[in-house]
A and B are shown apart, each in its own frame.
Chain A
Amino acid sequence: MRPLEIAHLAKSFGGLQVLQDVCLALEPGERRALIGPNGAGKTTLFNVISGVLAPSAGSIRLFGRDAAGLPVHRRSLLGLGRTYQVTNLFADLTVFENLLLGVQAVEPSRFAVHRPARTYRHLVARAEALLRDWGLWDARDALVRELSYGVQRQVEIVLALARGPRLLLLDEPMAGLSPGERVTVSGMIRRLDGAIALLLIEHDMDVAFEVAGTITVLHEGEVLAEGEAAAIKGDARVREIYLGAEGMFRKGG
């Protein structure tokens, strides 16, 4: 069963057409990068998939279910996870608390009022495992607000993993990172469970080709090209729309 199937999706705001006739399907475990110049509609597409925005036309199927009318949190419960280009964490909570929230989200105990959250040992254990697996153990009691930007970007991803998604939308995970930090995060992405399907918005073409097997190129709201990474790299039309955009095809971003 495909985690994601988008058919003839369109989205307009008043007179402005942001997405037009977008078709995209992911196989389980597929790693696909979504690339395209600024304003191509990539984040809007994410917002429509996750349910923040309703499409103007077309359909979205998540894990075989028609997502029309499903609110954001229900789509999450189906198995969808997402990260944000602008870090969106719980700044006044510790890293551990952030992850515990993520782990607890799909559990029936999330409405419990009668006992402390920490007494749910199996959930605590899961959060601690995440901390350890992703190198965040030392930071566990630090407030997210106090972390460096690079570590925050790591937590941004790990939080989305907490409830064990089967489809993960990563919105520019490398945004604002130094080259060294990029290596860490791209390593993280490559380490992700092979069963998770990944749709990744990325500006750094090298990272995109490194991490993804397939690429979809979005241009002015439409799918310009789609296919294996190598084929896209050689596609003349793709090169054309990126001409002039700095650092697109140069190593180091």
Chain B
Amino acid sequence: MRRLGTAALGAAALLGLAVAPRLLSSYYVGLLTQVLIYAIFAMSLDLLLGYTGLPSLGHAAYFGAAAYTLGLLAQRAGVGFWSALPWAVGAAAAAGALFALLAIRVRGAYFLMITLALGQVLWGIAFRWRALTGGEDGITGVPRPTLPGGTALSGSAGIHFFALAVFVAVGLALWVLVRSPFGLALRGIRGSETRMEALGYNVWAYKYLVSVIAAIVAGLAGVLFASYTGFVSPADLSIVTSARVLLMVLVGGAGTLAGPALGAGAIVLLESIVSTQVERWMSVLGAVYILVVVLCPGGIVGVFQAARGKGALG
């Protein structure tokens, strides 16, 4: 019965997102597009954090790597969106494959710190290597996807539907993944790595594979974001972005798929309200980080599932 209720809510939300361009101004549609993009980003992080127990503070590395690849190929080589897409996602996968080799050997706070440092490596490169990345100025003119006819999705509605389609596709794929034997094994790893090893699971292999998968999905989000804004900058690789997506996962509720999506919605909307209304918005955001930790260990989803919730923060 509860399942039906949740499914109905989800369907209603998707429907709402689909008709939004009809009802809302392009500003608000844009906000919703950002929510969708960040929801994809947050779900990918939750694969690592909520399902496998790997707390990454460097997830923006993959988001940004894909974004930069798209931007660079478009700006320097005149490559279109679709041709650049596999390269961009490939870059994210490569970064994931490389970083995972280094980070997976440690756990807990140490993993946190190393992923943070690795993420900042890419940030530093983007920031300092002006010749390649334009440094702080970033890269402009990132193209929108083009339809079969050749027209680009230049309006707010077009890119919104595109993001929605990707969100639904990714959501479905992840939904199957977390229910698969692989997904069950991830949850086992989060519960007890030693027991999983003793049962016969090659825990390292699982952690590695999920890291690459999460990097790919994050890369997809990065491509969407760059295309939506038309712009890539080092901020897309920074710890601020990594921490923001982490907060989204925790606000919404780790260990679920709906949680990160809800969290993305909450944080994007909150940030847009706060940054336009309040001068000291950075302090407000900092306070939000603190309040979230102190007040809701289980996130939004945890509030609804009070019986079942051990928050990722606890």
Binding site for B on A (CB under 8 A): 50, 52, 71-73, 76-77, 81-82, 84, 88-93, 97, 100-102, 104-107, 109-118, 120, 143, 145, 159-160, 162-163
Contact = CB atoms under 8 A, between A and B. Distances in A.
Contacts of A90: 187-188, 191-192, 195
Contact of B185 (A82, A104, A160): A104
A112 B181 contact: yes
A45 to B, nearest CB: 15
B198 A112 contact: no
A231 B277 CA distance: 84
B49 to A, nearest CB: 14
Contacts of B197: 71-73, 76
Given A89-B192, A109-B181, A145-B310, 4 more contacts: A72-B197, A88-B195, A89-B195, A111-B181
Contacts of B176: 113-116
Interface in B22-45: none
A120 B185 CA distance: 14
Interface string B150-189: 0000000000000000000000000011011111110110
Interface stretch (B82-90, B125-133, B199-207): B199-207
B229 interface: no
A26 B255 CA distance: 43
B180 A88 contact: no
A66 to B, nearest CB: 19
B305 interface: no
Contacts of A116: 176, 179-180
Given A110-B181, A112-B182, A92 B187 contact: yes
Contacts, number: 98
Given A88-B192, A93-B188, A104-B185, A73 B201 contact: yes
Given A91-B191, A112-B180, A163 B185 contact: no
Interface size class of B (residues with CB under 8 A): 20 to 34
CB-based closest 4 A-B pairs = A90-B191, A76-B200, A105-B200, A116-B179
Nearest to A145: B310
23 contacts: A76-B199, A77-B200, A88-B195, A90-B188, A90-B191, A90-B192, A92-B187, A92-B190, A92-B191, A93-B187, A93-B191, A105-B199, A110-B181, A110-B185, A111-B181, A113-B182, A114-B176, A115-B176, A115-B180, A116-B180, A143-B308, A145-B310, A162-B199
Nearest to A97: B184
A37 B255 CA distance: 43
B104 to A, nearest CB: 15
B272 interface: no
A101 B184 contact: yes
B213 to A, nearest CB: 8
Interface of B: 176-177, 179-185, 187-188, 190-192, 194-203, 209, 255, 308, 310
Nearest to A104: B181
B203 A73 contact: yes
Contacts of B188: 90, 93, 101
B200 A163 contact: yes
SS of B interface (majority): helix
Contact of A105 (B179, B192, B201): B201
A77 B185 CA distance: 16
Contacts of A72: 197-198
B199 A120 contact: no
A81 B191 CA distance: 18
A240 B53 CA distance: 48
Contacts of A105: 199-201
A97 B180 CA distance: 12
A101 B177 contact: no
A162 B308 CA distance: 26
A117 B198 contact: no
Contacts of B201: 73, 105, 110
A185 B239 CA distance: 51
A110 B187 contact: no
Candidate in A71, A105, A159 with the most chain B CB atoms within 10 angstroms: A105
Contact of A82 (B180, B187, B198, B255): B198
Given A115-B176, A117-B180, A117-B184, A76 B191 contact: no
Candidate in B183, B196, B201 with the most chain A CB atoms within 10 angstroms: B201
Candidate in A73, A107, A145 with the most chain B CB atoms within 10 angstroms: A73
Contacts of B190: 92
Nearest to A112: B181
Nearest to B308: A143
Nearest to A72: B197
B288 to A, nearest CB: 27
Contact of A92 (B177, B202, B310): B310
Contact of A104 (B184, B198, B310): B184
Contacts of A111: 181-182, 209
A142 to B, nearest CB: 12
Contacts of B308: 143
